[in-house]
Chains A and B, each alone.
Chain A
C-alpha cells in the first residue's frame, strides 16, 4: 500500500500548496482562464470555418458538356471514362431534354422561347463531384481531354481563391491555438517554479532523508494539474452557455443564412472536454518542466 500512501500524501500536499500560495495560485488560474478562453474562441472559429468550407466544398461541382452531335453509345463511353477517374465522387448524367424541361420550368419567357425553337439548342451534360476540393482543377482538365467533350467548367479562379482563403484561416487559427497552449504551459510552469522556490528547504530535506524523486515530483505535478483544471472551468462554462446563447440569438447562421453555424450539441461538450484536457495536461507538463529544471532530479 506504499505507492497509494505516497499518492494520497501528494494530493494532500498539492491541495495544501495551492491554498498556502493562494495569491500565486489565483494568478496562474486567472492567466490560464484567459488563455483558455482565447483557445476556446479559436476552436469555435476553426470548427465553424471548417464546417462552412465543408458545406461549400460539397456544392462545388464540375459541369462537362458533350459535343452537339453525340450518340447514345458515345455518351455511355464518356460516362465510363469519367467514372474511371479515381478522384471523382459521383457522376450524374443530365440529357439535353432534361435540361430543356428544367429551364422551361424556370420562367414563362424561357418556356415560350424553348418551345419556339424546333431543335433543342442545349447540350447533354455530366455533373461531376470530387472527393477533395483541390482535385477540381485537375479532374476538370482530364475530363476536357475525353473525346466528344466540348467543355468542362468548375468556376475557375473563384474556386481557387476561396480555397486559399479558407486555408489561410484554417492555418491561422491553428497557429493561434498552439501559441496559446504554449503560453499557458509557460505560465503554469512559472507559478510552479515560484512555489518550488518557496518550498525549497522542504524539498532539500525531503531529498536528504531519502524521498524518491517521484514522491518529490508528484505533489507539484498534481498541483499543476489542479491549477490547469480549475483554470479551465470558467472557459468551459463560457463555451457551453456562450455558444448556445449565441447560436440561439443568431438563429443558427450569420450573414443572412449564408454561413451556417455548427449545432451546439454535442459540439460544446466536445470543446469543453478538450479545454479541460488542455488545461490539465498543460498544467501537468508545465509543472513537470519546472520541477525537472529546478530540482535537478
Chain B
C-alpha cells in the first residue's frame, strides 16, 4: 500500500477557482518528492490538503491509511501529530527560546516534561543547533531559524515531513545547508518528505523525484534523478 494516495482529487475554492482538477498521485514511504509548478498551478493547495488545512472538494487524499478528506475539524489533530510541517516564514514564537519553540510542539500534545527534554535535544542535534538552545529567534540567522522550524517539525518523529517552500526566504548558500539537513532527515530517519519549491537549482542538484503541476493537474512525474534544468516548468 502506498504511503500517500491521492485519487481523482478536485479542489474548487468558494470563489470558483479550481486549484486542483483531477489529480491522481502516489508517494511511497521514505521517498523525497519535489512538487514544482508556476504560481497558481495548485502546489500550495496540494501541500495544504496534505496537512488538512484545505479539504478536497471531491476525491481521496489518504496519508498512512488516514482518509484526510473525511477527517472532521475536531479530529484533524490526530493527523497533524503524525506529520511535521516546515514553512517558508518559519512560524516561530518570538518570545520563546530555540529550545522552548521546539518543546512547545510536544507540550501542546500533552507530553510529559521528562520525555520532552531528550527528544528536543535530539531534534536540535539533527539540525545542528545543539549549541543555540537558549537563543531567541531574533538572535538567529534566517537559515538557523529555518532549522529550528525543521527541528520542531521532526521532534515528534513524524512519518511525513511537509515542506512549503522552506528555502523561499533564504539565500542560495543557506538554502543548500537546509537541503542538506532535509536530505539527512530523509536518509537517517527514513522520513518521507514532500517539498513544494520554486528553486530549480535545488531541484536539479538534489536528483529526487519531481512532480510538476500545471493548472491543478499532474503535468509531469519524473522519477528520481531524471529531471533536468533544461526542461520547462
* A interface, CB within 8 angstroms of B: 1-3, 5-6, 9, 201-202, 204-213, 215, 296-297
Q: Decide if the interface of chain B is mainly helix, strand, loop or mixed.
A: helix
Chain B min CB distance to A272 (Å): 36
What 1/0 mask marks residues of chain B from 68 to 104 whose CB sits below 8 Å from any chain A CB? 0000011011111110010000010100000000001
Given A210-B80, A210-B156, A213-B73, 19 other A-B residues pairs in contact with their CB atoms under 8 A: A5-B110, A5-B112, A201-B91, A201-B93, A205-B93, A207-B76, A207-B77, A209-B105, A209-B108, A210-B78, A210-B81, A210-B108, A210-B109, A211-B77, A211-B108, A212-B109, A213-B77, A215-B108, A296-B73
Q: How far is the CA of A261 from the CA of B175 in the complex (A)?
A: 79
Q: Taking CB as reference atom, which chain A residue is nearest B152?
A: A209
Is residue B201 contacting chain A, with contact meaning CB distance below 8 A? no
Q: Is the CB of B107 within 8 A of A9?
A: yes
Is residue B51 contacting chain A, with contact meaning CB distance below 8 A? yes
In the complex, chain B residues whose CB is within 8 Å of the CB of A5: 110, 112
Q: Is the CB of A297 within 8 A of B93?
A: no
Question: Given known contacts A201-B91, A201-B93, A202-B93, is B109 in contact with A209 (CB within 8 Å)?
Answer: yes
Question: Given known contacts A2-B110, A213-B73, is B104 in contact with A208 (CB within 8 Å)?
Answer: no
Q: How far is the CA of A79 from the CA of B218 in the complex (A)?
A: 97
Q: How far is the CA of A9 from the CA of B104 in the complex (A)?
A: 12
In the complex, chain A residues whose CB is within 8 Å of the CB of B156: 209-210
Q: Is the CB of A212 within 8 A of B77?
A: yes
Q: Which of B51, B77, B82, B152 has the most CB of A within 10 A?
A: B77
Q: How many A-B contacts at CB < 8 Å in the complex?
A: 55
Question: Given known contacts A5-B112, A213-B73, A215-B108, is B91 in contact with A208 (CB within 8 Å)?
Answer: yes
Q: How far is the CA of A213 from the CA of B109 in the complex (A)?
A: 11
Q: How far is the CA of A212 from the CA of B77 in the complex (A)?
A: 5
Q: Taking CB as reference atom, which chain A residue is nearest B94?
A: A201
Cβ contact of B104, chosen from A2, A3, A6, A209, cutoff 8 A:
A209
In the complex, chain B residues whose CB is within 8 Å of the CB of A215: 108, 110
Cβ contact of A6, chosen from B78, B79, B81, B110, cutoff 8 A:
B110
Q: Is the CB of A210 within 8 A of B91?
A: no
Q: Can you name 30 A-B pairs with beta carbons within 8 Å? A: A1-B112, A2-B110, A5-B110, A6-B110, A9-B107, A9-B110, A201-B91, A204-B91, A205-B91, A205-B93, A205-B104, A205-B105, A206-B108, A207-B76, A207-B77, A208-B51, A208-B80, A209-B81, A209-B104, A209-B108, A209-B109, A209-B156, A210-B78, A210-B81, A210-B109, A210-B156, A212-B109, A213-B77, A297-B73, A297-B74
Q: Taking CB as reference atom, which chain A residue is nearest B162?
A: A208
Q: Taking CB as reference atom, which chain B residue is nearest A3?
A: B110
Q: How far is the CA of A208 from the CA of B105 in the complex (A)?
A: 9
Cβ contact of B74, chosen from A6, A201, A205, A213, cutoff 8 A:
A213
Q: Taking CB as reference atom, which chain B residue is nearest A6?
A: B110
Q: How far is the CA of A197 from the CA of B162 in the complex (A)?
A: 27
Q: How far is the CA of A204 from the CA of B89 in the complex (A)?
A: 13
In the complex, chain B residues whose CB is within 8 Å of the CB of A201: 91, 93
Q: Which of A2, A204, A207, A208 has the most CB of B within 10 A?
A: A208
Chain B min CB distance to A4 (Å): 9
Q: How far is the CA of A202 from the CA of B105 in the complex (A)?
A: 11
Q: Taking CB as reference atom, which chain A residue is nearest B81?
A: A210
Q: Taking CB as reference atom, which chain A residue is nearest B79?
A: A210
Q: How far is the CA of A296 from the CA of B53 in the complex (A)?
A: 12
Q: Which of B93, B107, B110, B112 has the most CB of A within 10 A?
A: B110
Q: How far is the CA of A123 from the CA of B79 in the complex (A)?
A: 90
Q: How far is the CA of A1 from the CA of B73 in the complex (A)?
A: 25
Q: Taking CB as reference atom, which chain A residue is nearest B106?
A: A209
In the complex, chain B residues whose CB is within 8 Å of the CB of A9: 107, 110
In the complex, chain A residues whose CB is within 8 Å of the CB of B152: 209
